[in-house]
Chains A and B, each alone.
Chain A
Amino acid sequence: MPRRRDRKEQMLAAAQYPLDWLEERSGLIGGLRYFLFRKVPGDSGWWHTLGSATLTAFLVQLGTGVILAMYYKPDPKSAYESVQHINNDVTLGWLVRGMHRWGASVFIILIFFHMARVFLFGAYKYPRELNWVVGVLLLPLALLEGFSGYLLPYDQTAYWATVVGININGTGPFIGPFLASFLRSGPEITGDTLSRFYSIHMLLLPGAILGLIGLHLYLVVRLGVSSPPWSPEAAGRERAEPPPVPGSGLVNPAPRGVTKRPD
């Protein structure tokens, strides 16, 4: 063997070492590999990108939100001024705030688009009912995230939209008045309301959303995504003729080295 080639392989193996180290102690690399190299239907395409696009929008919200929290002050005496400060003085503050503000809109639009595609594909049917339910639960959480964040700049639009929003909760039968009082932290909107909304907006709801997204993705990986229903090669389609020979006439031929799983 030429010495040069030997060198190269040695270096590659050295690079591999930390991965093997991690795998031996955690199995994480295997999990990641499973996630990355699991098979999806050959005819899945652009329609299936809406879910991960929604996830991206959510991650943008997380990132920009963390930065905004470094400058924002949840107190009626200084909230408005701190947002002005972010807008006018902090380097690129306007950009981060703008991304957070409009990222919220994009996030919500994408949720609706994603939901529409799942509905039109009939992808909520057996065995994916539970994932649809998890998704539907994510939708109001996202809307609530928008509602609770709307108060924080503490300008006129913010304050009055919150008044109406809380009172809408108040009209719920029986528990409505108590729910409204809980949101306000008492019978009137005070400084406590603002910090309450801040905590809900940046801890409670994002935590719940993250948890549900985790469950959502787990189910996606476990059950796989459905082929477009109109595709002539839809995975799981009913066939009159016997199943085709492996790898014949497919968009992407089956990769080499696939072995049957022991199950």
Chain B
Amino acid sequence: MASRRVEENRVAFQRYKEDVKRDGKPFYPYAMFHDTVMSLVVVCVIVGLAFVWHYTSLLGPSLAAKADPGTVSFVPRPDWYFYFLFYLLRIFKWPNSVILGTVGIPTILLILALAIPFIDLRRERRLLRRPIAIVAAVLVALSMGVLTYKGATAKEALGAELLADVPNWVKSEQLPPQALPGAKLFATSGCLNCHTYQGVGGSQLGAPNLSAEGSKNKGITFQIAHLKCPSCVNKGSPMPSFAAFGNANLRKLAIFLEASKGPH
């Protein structure tokens, strides 16, 4: 037995069919004209993008270097429409939540999308009378937009990428020349995987910003001792030991840290 809602739906659709039969326009040429214009726009955009790709560098290179499965310097990124997923994976940075980002959330989203017509059973189609739908749509669009943007601009604290920032540090921190070797070492040694410096780096494990470390005037000897064994100097520090660098390298790092008096 059909419920009242089903009956009403059927009546409304019957009315729709009669309205269309009486007052509708033939698909060809009325609607098809619009479709054709739109398709022309689409094709022009595609060809235009191909031209821009070929003749300018706005859309990136047409081919990266040949695949090297043994690389130790490449920074992998997906195509732009997977940036949202890429960034989702970076958000779930606790090992036991990995599965949420990789399969959990995408699967839930897919099931939700499939279920929409079976959740929203009302006949109402006017937007202003579907507040939940509006809110959901805005939230989804917003979060996809933000995730895609964050994914597109995500930068890794990697030596190769950070070395390019050293000249900027020299300028804004007014580093003396003898701090330069230490700055390069600092950029390439993974310090910025946890710390931040001049707006780059990936605050992990609660590591502090080191842009103004030198203004605390702790001294070269302290810095070297700390780098050798962080938890001996600061009890409970999660920072790993950098003793493997050897004294000469540690001294370079210490000079750089003490010279970093904060941006001028």
Chain A residues within CB distance 8 Å of chain B: 35-42, 44-46, 48-50, 52-53, 56-57, 60, 76, 80, 83-84, 87, 94-95, 97-99, 101-103, 105-106, 108-110, 116, 119-129, 132-133, 136-137, 139-140, 143, 146-147, 150, 153-161, 163-165, 168-169, 171-173, 176, 189, 224, 226, 229-230, 233, 235-238, 243-244, 246-247, 250-252, 254-255, 258
Complex contact B21–A258 (CB within 8 A): yes
21 pairs of residues in contact across A and B, judged by CB atoms under 8 Å: A35-B27, A50-B38, A53-B35, A53-B39, A60-B43, A83-B63, A97-B62, A98-B50, A122-B130, A124-B116, A124-B117, A143-B82, A154-B67, A155-B66, A172-B102, A172-B103, A235-B24, A236-B20, A252-B30, A254-B23, A255-B26
Shortest CB-to-CB span from B87 to chain A, Å, is 13
Does B98 lie within 8 Å of A171, measured CB to CB? yes
Whether A238 lies near B117 (C-beta < 8 A) is no
B37 shortest CB reach to chain A, Å? 8
Q: Does B94 contact A (CB under 8 A)?
A: no
Question: Chain B's nearest CB lies how many Å from the CB of A84?
Answer: 6
Q: Which A residues touch B27, using CB under 8 A? A: 35-40
Q: Is B15 on the interface with A (CB-CB < 8 A)?
A: yes
B171 in the interface (beta carbon within 8 A): no
A36 to B228, CA, bound (A): 79
CA A169 to CA B28, docked complex, whole Å: 45
Q: Which residues of B contact A101 (CB under 8 A)?
A: 50, 53
- Given the contacts A39-B26, A42-B23, A95-B50, A226 and B125 also touching, CB distance less than 8 Å: yes
Within 8 A of A (CB), among B72-114: 74, 76-82, 85, 89, 98-99, 102-103, 110, 113-114
B245 CB within 8 Å of chain A: no
Known A98-B50, A122-B124, A158-B67: A46·B43 in contact at CB below 8 Å: no
What is the CB-to-nearest-CB distance from A50 to chain B, in angstroms, rounded to a whole number?
A: 7
The answer on a CB contact under 8 Å between B39 and A46 is: no
Report whether A56 and B114 are in contact in the complex, using a CB–CB cutoff of 8 Å. no
B136-177 Cβ-contact flags toward A at 8 Å (1 or 0): 010001000000000000000000000000000000000000
**Bound CA–CA A56/B27 (angstroms):** 17
Question: In whole angstroms, how far apart are the Cα atoms of A171 and B89 in the complex?
Answer: 12
Contact A102 B46 (CB under 8 A): yes
Chain B residues lying within 8 Å of A95, measured Cβ to Cβ, are 47, 50-51, 54
In the complex, which of the residues A105, A120, A121, A251 contacts B25, with contact meaning CB atoms closer than 8 Å? A251
Say whether B35 contacts A52, CB under 8 Å: yes
Q: Find A229's partner among B19, B50, B127 (CB 8 Å cutoff).
A: B127
Q: Is the CB of B123 within 8 A of A125?
A: yes
In the assembly, what is the distance between CA of A236 and CA of B113, in Å? Answer: 26
A40-B25, A120-B127, A168-B103 given as contacts; is B117 within 8 A of A236 (CB)?
no
Q: Which of B62, B74, B78, B116 contacts A94 (CB 8 A)?
A: B62
Using Cβ atoms and an 8 Å threshold, which residues of chain A touch B137?
A: 116, 119-120
A-B pairs with lowest CB-CB distance, top 7: A98-B50, A236-B16, A160-B76, A39-B24, A122-B125, A159-B67, A102-B49
Nearest opposing residue in chain A for B34, CB measure? A49
Q: Is B235's beta carbon under 8 Å from chain A?
A: no
Q: Which residues from chain A contact B19 at a C-beta distance below 8 Å? A: 41, 235-237, 243
List residues of chain B with CB within 8 A of the CB of A94: 50, 54, 62
Q: Which of B31-64 contact A (CB under 8 A)?
A: 31-32, 34-35, 37-39, 41-43, 45-47, 49-51, 53-54, 59, 62-64
Q: Which of A147, A229, A246 contacts B22 (CB 8 A)?
A: A246
Q: Are B74 and A156 in contact (CB under 8 A)?
A: yes
Is the Cβ of B79 less than 8 Å from the Cβ of A150? yes
**Contact of B45 with A106 in the complex, beta carbons under 8 Å:** yes
Measured CA separation A168–B107 after assembly (Å): 12
If A95-B47, A147-B82 touch, whether A235 touches B54 (CB-CB below 8 Å) is no
User: Assuming the A-B contacts A52-B38, A156-B64, A229-B127, are A146 and B9 also in contact, with contact meaning beta carbons closer than 8 angstroms in the complex?
Assistant: no
B199 at the interface (CB under 8 A from A): no
A126 and B69 contact, Cβ closer than 8 Å, known pairs A60-B46, A171-B99: no
Q: Are B74 and A160 in contact (CB under 8 A)?
A: yes
Question: B78–A155 contact, CB under 8 A?
Answer: no
- Whole-angstrom distance between the alpha carbons of A99 and B117 in the complex? 35
Q: Is B218 an interface residue (CB 8 A)?
A: no
Asked if A155 meets B64 with Cβ closer than 8 Å, knowing A39-B20, A238-B12, the reply is yes
